[in-house]
Structure 1
Amino acid sequence: FSLHQLQIQPVGTFKISPGSNYFPVVGSRSNVVTGEMVEELILSGADIIKVGIGPGSVCTTRIKTGVGYPQLSAVIECADSAHGLKGHIISDGGCSCPGDVAKAFGAGADFVMLGGMFAGHDQCAGEVLEKNGKKVKLFYGMSSDTAMKKHIGGVAEYRASEGRTVEVPYRGDVETTILDILGGLRSTCTYVGAAKLKELSRRATFIRVTQQHSQVFF
């Protein structure tokens, strides 16, 4: 299934007094997976649209509801619609390595959200626990039982949890992971001939494969 034909309400308006100092207000809406929904939201006043239903590493929405869309396809379609209206998109979910981040930008994403790749680091929420002699941190989806109990007092009886809570290895400071991602992105640009990140979507071509890398030592 995919979501469509939802009634969209205007994002809202802001009144600024003449002569006052203010920063431009940027509005975002989420989450959608089709070009039609992106167009509806941008035309209703949103500047940035978050794209992704169910691709997250601790998300169970597709299992619980049957609703979802392959993330790469969603980003390609939604980016095309957003950029045609001078809007932007955030790819939310589905990345497990620097190459996935590069593919998201190559598909047209303006921003990429990385939950699972940053989980376990010092800068992430949650205390460090020790289990069987190893340090771990809890990582949970924002529609999980854990998140709803923590932020809104529990799961309402009329709805289901759509996320998992898992233990991930403690990984220390996030700097090493960020440098690895940035290094991968720079290398991606050299391979495809992109002088800057924004050019990546114009240089990238996607093909379907059954195996992406050698499995000899994996």
Structure 2
Amino acid sequence: MRIENDPKLDFKDVLIRPKRSTLASRSEVDVTRTLRFMHTGRTWTGFPLVAANMDVTGTMAMAGALHRHGAMVALHKHYPADALADFFAGPASANTFYSLGTTEADWEKLAAVKSRAPVHFLCIDVANGYTERFVEIVERARAENPDAVIMAGNVVTGDMTEALILAGADIVKVGIGPGSVCTTRKMTGVGYPQLSAVIECADAAHGLKGLVCADGGCTVPGDVAKAYGAGADFVMLGGMLAGHDECEGEIVRESVDGVEQPAKMIFYGMSSDTAMKKYAGGVAAYRASEGKTVEVPYRGGVDATMQEIMGGVRSMMTYIGATKLKEVPKRTTFVMVGAQLNTVFGG
């Protein structure tokens, strides 16, 4: 047993210090990035935000909506092969990750889809990216898909970030336990404060010309801005994109004393009892649920939320004088704080 005494930080622990700037308006900044993927040499240009590959948010409808904003979606892996093949033959696939796990059934399904349509982006997703077997899976994915951009994770430390990049990942997904419907930290005691995880993994990845995707922990647009400031090349969102028309969650409508209440939508983690009952018949005897099921406010179309997120990032850039999104890490200074918000009138 050993103890690390240097402080590790979460989004709530810091604010971004403003800097003198010549920018006069949010309209002067560019929130898109052109990113080059080391293993393929290909480039991609857009707003580097990804809807999480949860079955509520990682939907084809979400892909169509976020495509309009230049953002991306990691589709959930439970669509049938025929539906996926039809989708990847269309235009929205240019900003969409095909998600898979590590079973032979996952590989067979991917082969079936690829026989009918090109798949340019792969997201290999496991809860624990620290096993040797996962490194071998990434190596296999690279060997069998030499022209695909591969995102793999999740990890939270620089050493495994480097290992996955060297194995063939272009993007490493960073985050263990920070998600709004993830209970891994509660159930296992394992995790890492997300801001520090992003900083350390980004530093390791960029040294090898790889990229990172900050996955989890963002609750407001300011957290997305902090993730970019910490060096994240992409930011993945689940809870912040839940509750919209483009999601596949069940809408709940209730009345109290005859008065209709605001509608809500069911949102749950992919390691929750809800997800495992839906896709695996229940929680296996050798494991425990590491996710929860909640009701989030129903919010209509996702366009308004995307405008809010992108607007927050633009505003942050004007505060620190960053004309382009790629400049944000170099112009970011984090200050540690005891509190961020004045909550006298509520959260």
Q: Could you say whether these structures have the same fold, taking a TM-score greater than 0.5 normalized by the shorter chain as the test? A: yes
Q: Look up the equivalent residue of 1:144 and give its one-letter code.
A: S
Which one of the candidate residues 126, 147, 150 is aligned to 1:27? 150
Q: Does residue 1:85 correspond to 2:215, yes or no?
A: no
Contact 1:26-1:47 at 8 Å conserved across structures: yes
Which one of the candidate residues 226, 236, 241 is aligned to 1:103? 226
CA distance in 1, matches of 2:131, 2:247: 34
Q: TM-score of the superposition, structure 2-length normalised?
A: 0.58
Q: CA RMSD in A?
A: 1.9
Residue number in structure 2 paired with 1:14: 144
CA distance in 2, matches of 1:15, 1:98: 35
Residue number in structure 1 paired with 2:199: 76
Residue number in structure 1 paired with 2:299: 171
Q: How many residues align?
A: 211
SS at match of 1:117: helix
Residue number in structure 1 paired with 2:238: 115
Which one of the candidate residues 248, 251, 256 is aligned to 1:125? 248
| Residues 15, 170 of structure 1: alpha-carbon distance in 2 compared, 3 angstrom cutoff | closer
SS at match of 2:296: strand
Residue number in structure 2 paired with 1:38: 161
Q: How does 1:173-188 map to 2 (within 5 A)?
A: 173-188=301-316
* Structure 1: gaps spanning 5 or more residues: 17-23
Q: Select the structure that is richer in strand.
A: 2
SS at match of 2:307: helix
After superposition, the C-alpha distances for 1:190-211 in whole angstroms (9 at most, x for unaligned) are: 1111111111111111121011
After superposition, the C-alpha distances for 1:98-122 in whole angstroms (9 at most, x for unaligned) are: 0000000110111111111111111
Q: Look up the equivalent residue of 2:154 and give its one-letter code.
A: N
Q: Look up the equivalent residue of 2:144 and give its one-letter code.
A: F
Q: Look up the equivalent residue of 1:109 and give its one-letter code.
A: A
Contact 1:11-1:27 at 8 Å conserved across structures: no
CA distance in 2, matches of 1:15, 1:204: 36
Residue number in structure 1 paired with 2:273: 145
- Following superposition, the deviation at residue 127 of structure 1 comes to 2.6
| Residues 154, 4 of structure 1: alpha-carbon distance in 2 compared, 3 angstrom cutoff | closer
Runs (4+) of structure 1 moved beyond 3 Å?
Answer: 1-6
Q: How many percent of aligned residue pairs carry the same amino acid? A: 63
CA distance in 1, matches of 2:283, 2:160: 28
SS at match of 2:239: coil
Q: How does 1:189-200 map to 2 (within 5 A)?
A: 189-200=317-328
CA distance in 1, matches of 2:157, 2:202: 10
User: Relative contact order (C-alpha < 8 Å, sep 6+): which is higher?
Assistant: 2
| Residues 152, 213 of structure 1: alpha-carbon distance in 2 compared, 3 angstrom cutoff | same
- Following superposition, the deviation at residue 4 of structure 1 comes to 9.2
CA distance in 1, matches of 2:196, 2:250: 36
* Structure 2: gaps spanning 5 or more residues: 5-127
